Each structure stands twice: as structure tokens, then as C-alpha cells.
Chain A
Amino acid sequence: MWRFVLRRLLQMVPVVLGTTFLIYVLVFALPGDPIRVLGGDKPMPPSVYEALRHHYHLDEPLVVQYGRYLLGLFRGDFGETLNGQSVSSLMASSWTVTAQLALTAWIFELGMGIALGVWAGLRKGGIVDSLVLSGTTFVIAVPQFVLGYSAQLVFGLKLGLFPTVGTDDGWPYSYLLPGMILGSLSLAYIARLTRTSLVENMRADYVRTALAKGLPRRRIVVRHTLRNSLIPVVTYLGIDLGNLLAGAIIIEGIFNLPGIGQQVFLAIQVKDGPTVVGISTFLVLIYLAANLVVDIVYGALDPRIRYE
């Protein structure tokens, strides 16, 4: 088990190097000159221009710049933005917002998704099943910003049930509505995945055995079918936590939440390379960590998976 974790951690090293390098190159390949953006549209004396370029190491070859950046990363230093602010502190504030939003969405999709999926699966062909199937199709079909604006209008403005923008009311209240909208798409997938997996497992041979053992239906569902059915759902949930934490530019935009997504969006607009690379690198690390956790949980759920 620990050997497995260690090996997976080692496997992450080339992934981190590869992805960060790719992001680094891409950001610097963006058209436009960050120093010019920094100076606004005003003309800048060549000497100042050169000094700034030198200050941000933009006059060095790309590989050297990247190496310098990596060294900083190892010391936990994500560099500084073109405004002179440290990327770490910038991320810290937006990160709290995104983490709270993602967590709200995740809890929502996990609880509701599995509950609806199980309910629909157990009464296959019934009213709940039909409602879940059509409802999830609706959610998957409608773009998230439509759901977002509609919910904001109806539940926020007209009914006044939730705060409409900002984070002033703190967690969880400020995050409930955006969280639910953000989680709605995955909720639909999870409900369907759970339902299908449950229906499939209800037909499995081991369920017939459980019946032949004279077990009550409740016990068969809870102890035998459910655990087997949830194996693919857990995988999805783990990967999706990574997705949610990657920030939701649209939802953060609609509800005016100063999270990671908005931060990246702004940084790309002003060609703020260090911020974009910093946040992206951080997200890669989160993805990898989420994947590792999924693999470990997967092994705990399904003994056929061995850590070798």
C-alpha cells in the first residue's frame, strides 16, 4: 500500500514537470507583450522597458526562465505577479472562495446524485425514475449560465431565498445557490451513473445468490448491491472534485465570486504569466492528489484492485 503511494508520487514528478512546462511555454507564446500591458498604453522609455524586462527575467532564454521558476516552486515560491504581489498570497484569497464553492457543489452532487440515482434505480420504470431521467436530461441539455442566471433571478431576486452575488454572507449561505448550479451537471451524471450501475448490479449473479440465501431485500440492496454499484460513482466523484476545484469561470462570474476561475481569467487578459502559470500548476497538483485519493478509495471499495 505505501509502496503504491510512493510509486504514484514518483510517477507524478514527470507529469508535473511536463504540464508546468507546457503551460509555461503556452503562456509565453501568447501574443502581446506583458511589459507593454504593464505600462498601459503610454509610451515607455527604452531604458525603463529594458530594466523591467530584466527584472522579470524576460530577457533570458525560455528554458532558463522555466528552470528559475521550477527552483522557486521547490521552495514553495510561486513567483510574483506583474504588479509585484506574490502569487501565493493572491491564490490564498481566491483559493478559499473556490474551495468553499467546490465543496458546496460537491456535497450537493454527491448527496442528491446518489440518493436520486438509488431511488430511481430501485423503482426502475416508476414515476421517480422517469422524473430523474427527464430531469437530468434537462440539466445536461441547458447551458450552465442559463441555469445560473435563471436561478439567480428566481430564487435570489424574486423569492429572496438566497444572496444573489458576492461572499458577504459567508459559507455556506453565500455559496448555496452557486454551489447547486455548479454541481447540477455532475449531479445529473452521478444520478444516471448510480441508477444504471444499480440496475445492472441488481441483475448480477451474486444478487441471485443473496436471494437464495433468504436475505431480506433491504439487506441485499444495502450490503450487496449498493457497494458494488458505487464503485464507478466514487471514481467519477473523485475526478470531479478536481474539476470543481479548478474553478468555475462562468459560475464565479455570474455570482461575482472572486475565486480561482476569475483570477485566471483576469490574469490571462493582462498577460500576467506568473499568475496563470502559478494557478495552473497548483491545479495540476490538486488533480493529481484527487486522482491518487480516488485510486486509494477504489482499492478499498473493490478488493480485486491490488496495489502492486
Chain B
Amino acid sequence: MNTPDPAPGTPLLQVDDLHVEFRMRGSTVGAVNGLSYRLEEGETVAILGESGSGKSVSAQAVMGILDTPPARVTKGAVRFRGTELLGLPEKRRRTYRGAKIAMIFQDALSALNPVHRVGDQIAEMLIVHRGMSRRDARKRAIELMDHVRIPSAASRAGDHPHQFSGGMRQRVMIAMALALEPDVLIADEPTTALDVTVQAQIMKLLSDLQEEMAMGLILITHDLGVVADVADRIVVMYAGRAVEEAAVKDLYARPAHPYTEGLLASVPRVDVRDRALSPIKGAPPNLAAIPSGCPFHPRCPRAREERCAGEVPALRDVTGTGHWSACHYAEEVLGG
């Protein structure tokens, strides 16, 4: 790839004003409505949101694996080390997939092909992208499986996905995603389908590997608890938009958006006893009819009629130190 060296300060991955629409039977649903974030080298960014917030769709748009039709990127940019990916012809775009930006999915059982041996599925990456011989690729696949701590990798490489436990299957997915040493790994709810103890192991594995390979990691999740230990920054999504973005500590200590505040109040905490949980009122918005103004205002305890319903709040740096919020009254939220 003859990509010119990016200028210093160019982020590893930059998503800018991304819009994704679903068109079906005449109606149009905006799944992602102007999402922007950046990922630096070696950084972990968590994208947090409820189902339907557009977090997975935006990741698929970044990978270029949206189901088109019905989904379509209508606006925005995705830049990898300064190279715009969205306009690229499929043939060139494909060379980024898996090789520069890799992705793992929630349910490894359905994400792996049931009829092929796992070793072959990993080796396929090396055969297709690197032109490796089948034999060498198989050998490398076993090394990769060993690397993600699958016991007796050499013999298990010949097994099929259904012969593995959930955690081991996700390890196979990780081994496959890391086969070409990508610069960015997108993990879409990688632990949601797993037991809690296994969840912790997989998260540990991911963060170890990330450190070792100095990759950028995008962690998509709906679970605040999963990301607290591993993420550097968190982007909170609501109705296809980022509503808050901050360093993990800042966001947990002092949320600057009522939605984040609500999320934090709705999960139990071990360190605070006897605290009543307060769920967020109402239901996530219907994406075919996103509320006017701030999309969160119908559910927001701080909403004031005119401004919140009438004016879309811009994402702005509230503290001047990289704590971004898309709330008209962010300062008030910060103050508690």
C-alpha cells in the first residue's frame, strides 16, 4: 500500500460526522446521526450505549461491512492514519479489512463458520492476505491459538467451532482477528454472551494483547462495568450520536450528560451499600422518529421545555480538558 506517511498528530482512526441510514419500504431510519470520535495509537476507546443506539452499526460502517442495502453511509468520513476509507473502491478497501482494522463479534458461535475447522478459519487470513502456503498458515494458526492461551492448540486446531466452549470460541475469534497484526481492533460486545468469570478472562486477554501489540482498541459495549478497567476514554452514544466523551475516570466521577448520569445511577455498585437503583424513565427512542432538539429530552429529568425540545445541543468540551458533552446544561450536570 503506497499510503503516504501521515502527518504527525494524525489520529490512528478518525470518525467524522458519520451518518448511516436504513431504508426499507419507503421509510428511512437514521441509525447513526453524526457520530464523531478519534482513536489514538495504542489507545482503548469504549463506545457505550443501549441496544439501538447505533454503536454496532457505526462499527460496521467503519469496517465497511454494513448490510447494503438496507444500510447505507450517507455522510461523513472514516480516516485510517489520514486515509479516507469510505470512498475507496472495494478492492482497495478490502486490503484494510482484517489487515489494518480487524473486528470480533458478540456471539462467536454464529460468527465462526460451523463447517470449517477453526485452524483453517484462522489460516485463511494468512493465505488470502499474505499469500502464505497452506502448511505455513496452519502452523502460524496454531501459534496464534497458543498465543491467545487456548490449551493444546495443536490438536484443537482441527476441531470445529461447536466443539469449543464459549470462552474458547471467543479466543479463536481473537486469534483470527489478530492474525495479521492489525493496528485497530474493534470488539463488538465481545463478552456479552459469556459467563462473568469468562468475561473477565477475555477482557484481560484483550487488554494484554492490546498492550503487547500496541493496537488501538475500540470496545463496544452496553455494560459500564466491563469497560471501567480497560478503557482510556469512553464515548457514550444515544440515538446514533455521541452525547458524552471523556476519560474513564472523569466520566465515572463527574458525568456531564444526564443520560450518562442516569446510566450510572441504574447499575448496582459494590462500594455504595443500600443505594436504591434508579432506572432511566421511558424507552429508547424510535429511530424512525427521533425526538426534536436533544433526542434525550423526553426522558431527561433536567429537561426544560423550550430549549431542550427545540435546539439540538452540540458536542462541546465542557471543562476545557477534553470532557465533551452534548447537553445544553452540561455545567449544571457536572456540578451535581
Q: How far is the CB of A62 from chain B (nearest CB, A)?
A: 50
Interface-side segment among B124-132, B255-263, B287-295: B124-132
A212 B124 Cβ-Cβ under 8 A: no
Q: How far is the CB of A129 from chain B (nearest CB, A)?
A: 15
Interface-side segment among A63-71, A80-88, A198-206: A198-206
B114 A213 Cβ-Cβ under 8 A: no
A214 B105 Cβ-Cβ under 8 A: no
Residues of B within 8 A of A303 (CB): 114-115, 160, 162
Which of B99, B102, B111 is in CB contact (< 8 Å) with A206? B111
A213 B125 Cβ-Cβ under 8 A: yes
Residues of A within 8 A of B128 (CB): 213-216, 219
Q: Beta-carbon contacts of B39-66 to A below 8 Å, as 1s and 0s?
A: 0000000000000000000001001010
Nearest neighbor of A216 in chain B, beta-carbon distance: B94
Which residues of B come within 8 Å of A, CB atoms? 60, 63, 65, 67, 94-99, 102-103, 105, 107, 110-116, 124-125, 128-129, 160, 162, 173, 176
Which residues of A come within 8 Å of B, CB atoms? 203-206, 208-216, 219, 223-224, 227-228, 301-304
Given the known interface contacts A211-B97, A219-B128, the answer about A205 and B160 at a Cβ–Cβ threshold of 8 Å is no
A208 B111 Cβ-Cβ under 8 A: yes
Question: Bound state CA distance, A219 and B124, in angstroms?
Answer: 10
Residues of A within 8 A of B67 (CB): 203
Closest 9 interchain pairs by CB? A214-B97, A214-B98, A205-B110, A211-B65, A206-B113, A303-B160, A212-B103, A213-B98, A209-B111
Residues of B within 8 A of A223 (CB): 116, 124
Question: Bound state CA distance, A153 and B115, in angstroms?
Answer: 47
Residues of A within 8 A of B115 (CB): 227-228, 301-303
B114 A228 Cβ-Cβ under 8 A: yes
Residues of A within 8 A of B98 (CB): 212-215
Question: Bound state CA distance, A130 and B60, in angstroms?
Answer: 31
Residues of B within 8 A of A205 (CB): 105, 107, 110-111
Given the known interface contacts A208-B105, A213-B176, A214-B129, the answer about A228 and B113 at a Cβ–Cβ threshold of 8 Å is yes
Question: Bound state CA distance, A140 and B116, in angstroms?
Answer: 35
Given the known interface contacts A206-B114, A228-B114, A302-B114, the answer about A213 and B105 at a Cβ–Cβ threshold of 8 Å is no
Residues of A within 8 A of B173 (CB): 209
Residues of A within 8 A of B107 (CB): 205
Residues of A within 8 A of B160 (CB): 303-304
Question: Bound state CA distance, A209 and B173, in angstroms?
Answer: 9
Question: Bound state CA distance, A135 and B99, in angstroms?
Answer: 44
Q: How far is the CB of B201 from chain A (nearest CB, A)?
A: 22
12 A–B pairs (Cβ distance < 8 Å), ordered by A: A204-B110, A205-B111, A206-B111, A206-B113, A209-B111, A209-B112, A212-B102, A213-B125, A214-B98, A215-B128, A219-B128, A223-B124
Residues of A within 8 A of B96 (CB): 214
